[in-house]
A and B are shown apart, each in its own frame.
Chain A
Amino acid sequence: MKREMKVFLLFLLTFGVLCMAGAAFAEDPVYGGILRWREINDPPKLDPAQATDTVSSRAIYLMFDSLVENDSDGKGVLPALAESWEGSEGGTVWTFKLRKGVRFHKECLGESTANGGREVTAQDWKYTFERMVRDNSPRAYFIEMIEGYQDFVSRDETGATEWSGIKVLDDYTLQFKLTYSFAPFVSVLAYNSFMVIPREDAEKWGKEFNFHPVGTGPFMLERWDHDQKVVLKKNPDYWRKDDKGNALPYLDGVELVVIPDNTIAYEEFKKGNLDAFQDFPDEFYVEAKATYGPLFQERPWVGTYYYGFNNSKEPFKGNRALRQAVNYAVDRERISDLVIEGRYPAGKGVLPPGMPGFNPDLKGYSYDPDKAKALLKEAGYPNGFECELQVNNNPRHKAVAEAIQAQLMELGIKLNIKVVDWGVHLDMCERAETQMFRMGWVVDYLDPDNFLYVLLHSSNHGSKGNYSFYSNPEVDALLAEARVETNWDKRIELYRKAEQLIVEDAPWVFLFHYSTSLLGQKWVKNMHLPAMGDYSTPLYNVWVTKK
């Protein structure tokens, strides 16, 4: 009996060890393999200074690095090519200590790069920022608070030869002097335009750098077959290591495969021709969730979907009760469930969940037709009114608009939907030529300033972000104060006060907050969807078990 027991225990022990070994083996990273990632169109720009769209950003995140990067859960910024940083008292001087041993790609499109794979220094960072201004980067103005920006922009008149507020203290120390204290400064530097590039290659190619991009990221450009695929190969000198000190990335390469049609892309995924499918379409959402279970990742995206009122024109100008009435007349949950499979949570205010400063206790507007009727009466429209809603051409936006149109009709509000192209939409909204318009905003940098100041401060009317032409001096003062306040808790308090006032003023119909999604194959391991959106999913630490 004793012997039997011993044998049984030995069997159990062996079984346990084997199981653990098996589990450990299953979780151990594997080198090699190519990951095929679906894109809806060819990336227009691979030069970080010029890119403004998410498809380009996907490729840029794979090939380039910034000083700091966003935490994947959206809880702040983490070191990247800067090991550490500190701000001066008052927050007008920021000093960054750079990581040593980071090298530029030594190969691009199968040929040696002009920089030869040399180390990145602070000089490269200064060059990168100055090049953005020289080449009219659409995103250079994000850091206009750095001293000397205007002089350098107008260098033909001022004779400025450099951007004076950016100082190279030594090879590994970079300093920024700001003209005013700007609390979100470090967060802004995580934006994907601010990626270091080598002077030699930038000068060799000029504007053609877009087709010969050279960075420090985990992957290097190997081939670009326009409208087909962008082929990236592993950077053998990548600076990051895994927890055990092993070299990264694990993958031999990434292919960004262009498949414009969603139905076909999903079929290709099911067939195994694609490994990752991001920004998953509504039409296959229920099926994919049921079929793939945990392989289907979805989480709140730091973004807000709203209908703006034109606050500078009748009937919404100066009529808060009318704007509030429309807010009470919309059943957000029902629309989300009916039209977008419940993928977008109902919005109560401006700041989305995941954004620091998000107020979960904000009251907002719930569906209340009686209150809406009373407010309509108070606003001087007891029998409703007629107005035009402009949306940009997209099936999802059109479907949401039609659902809202039907709901508002119940209260006598006749919404005429006008669908236009994106470019036309922007132009008309910018010139305040609409009565109501659809708009969405997804985070550039993880700070409430990026939503509240950009979208609702009166200095940003029009193209700078405040398309609703909202203006409230009290809100302006709170937002301006929060921008320069260095104490985080005080800032949050100021932002919450401002958001509460904005919600009461109802310059928008606060509709939804976005969600982001990513579907991966079962053989793709360690791929985690970040809060900043699917296109920024890191792939340097992802591996595949199917070659």
Chain B
Amino acid sequence: MFTYFLRKLLYTIPVLWGVVTVVFILMAVVPGDPARIMMGQRGDPATLARIRADLGLDLPLHRQYTKFLGELLRGDLGTSYRSNEKVSVALSVRFGATLRLAFWAMVLASVLGVTAGIVSAVKQYSVFDYSAMFLAISGVSAPVFWVGLLLLLAFAYNLHWIPGVGYGDGQAIYLILPVLTLGVRPAALIARLTRSCMLEVLSQDYIRTARAKGLAEKIVVIKHALKNALIPVVTIIGTQVAELLSGAVLTETIFAWPGIGRLAVEALVARDFPMIRGTVIFMALIFLVTNLVVDLSYGFIDPRVRFE
């Protein structure tokens, strides 16, 4: 397993290098001069040239690339053109907020989704099954901004149960609505997938054997069926975690949540190259790490899986 882990870790190096290079090239060819945006609508060409030189944008592309790679190898993601903030500092500050949001959203989604999926499968074609699957389809289809606005209008501005939007001083109450908004879609996906996987497993012969042995239904479902149904569910949870961690732009915008998603969008608009590169590299890392964790977890869930 350790060799497998090391090999997977080594794979991340070329992948990261590829991401870094593609992002660099994209930034170089995308129209819109960051120095020009910094100057605003009216800009003196001489000052513009000095700002470009200051940012290193006057260097030939290959020198910009080698300079960027050199800095990256030293762990320096650069400084934001737009705000002068160190990219690594900006990312670490915002990641804390995003992590908090994504973590609780995934806890909510996993608990709700897996539970609803299991019960729906066990009680197939029951009222619960129909209701849960109707809600799941609605959850997958409902746009995030709509869900967010609806929750806010109901609980913050009509019932006044929640103080409002923002991060507050980190109080848990500010977390409730964004977590609900962000958790709805993954919960629905997980519920649908858990249900279908469970149904497939529950129709297998060994489940019938387990029941014939006189095992309690709870043990049959939890111990024998669920464990085998979990692999695709864990995969989808992994992808969802990575997606949420790499920024939930709409949720963050609606709830004025200071996360990575908003940072990335504002950087894109301002053509803030160091910040864009930093966020993309960071997001790529999150995806790689999450995939690795998901791969490793298969071995624990299903003993038949061997790391080779």
Contact = CB atoms under 8 A, between A and B. Distances in A.
- Do the two chains belong together in a single complex? yes
Interface of A: 41-42, 44-45, 47, 50, 52-53, 136-138, 140-141, 144, 153, 207-208, 210-211, 225-229, 257-261, 263-264, 267-268, 270-271, 273, 420-424, 426-428, 430, 439, 441, 444, 454, 462-465
A426 B41 contact: yes
25 contacts: A53-B40, A136-B51, A138-B38, A138-B47, A138-B51, A144-B44, A153-B50, A207-B79, A210-B83, A226-B93, A227-B256, A260-B253, A260-B262, A264-B256, A267-B153, A267-B157, A268-B164, A424-B31, A426-B41, A427-B32, A427-B36, A439-B41, A444-B42, A463-B36, A463-B39
B140 interface: no
B85 A267 contact: no
A321 B93 CA distance: 58
Contacts of A263: 149
B266 interface: yes
Given A141-B44, A226-B85, A267-B156, A423 B37 contact: yes
Nearest to B41: A426
Most A CB within 10 A of own CB, among B44, B160, B259, B262: B44
Nearest to B32: A423
Contact of B167 (A210, A225, A268): A225
Given A423-B36, A427-B36, A138 B90 contact: no
Nearest to A274: B164
A229 B166 CA distance: 9
Contacts of A210: 83-84
Contact of B54 (A44, A136, A153, A420): A136
Contact of A259 (B51, B84, B165): B165
A413 B223 CA distance: 72
A41 B42 contact: no
A225 B257 CA distance: 11
Interface string B139-168: 000000000010011001100100111110
Nearest to A270: B157
A264 B271 CA distance: 27
B46 A153 contact: yes
B8 interface: no
A444 B41 CA distance: 11
A45 B44 contact: no
B254 A261 contact: yes
Nearest to B93: A226
B75 interface: no
A245 to B, nearest CB: 38
Contacts of B45: 462-464
A270 B255 CA distance: 16
A468 B47 CA distance: 21
Given A41-B266, A44-B83, A228 B167 contact: yes
Contact of B253 (A261, A270, A422, A426): A261
A296 B43 CA distance: 35
Interface string B88-105: 001001100000000000
A144 B44 CA distance: 10
B263 interface: yes
Nearest to B255: A264
A424 B32 CA distance: 4
Contacts of B166: 228-229, 257, 259
Nearest to A137: B47
Nearest to B51: A136
Contacts of B253: 260-261
Contacts of A47: 84
Contacts of B90: 226
Given A228-B258, A267-B157, A427-B33, A464 B44 contact: yes
B48 interface: yes
Nearest to A41: B266
Contacts of A52: 38-40
B82 interface: yes
A225 B270 CA distance: 20
B258 to A, nearest CB: 4
B31 A227 contact: no
A464 B256 CA distance: 36
A176 to B, nearest CB: 19
A153 B44 CA distance: 13
A145 B106 CA distance: 60
A257 B33 CA distance: 29
Q: Which 5 pairs show the lowest CB-CB distances between chains A and B?
A: A423-B32, A227-B258, A141-B44, A52-B40, A138-B39
Contacts of B255: 264
Given A264-B152, A424-B31, A427-B36, A207 B44 contact: no
B207 to A, nearest CB: 49
Contacts of B93: 226
A227 B253 CA distance: 10
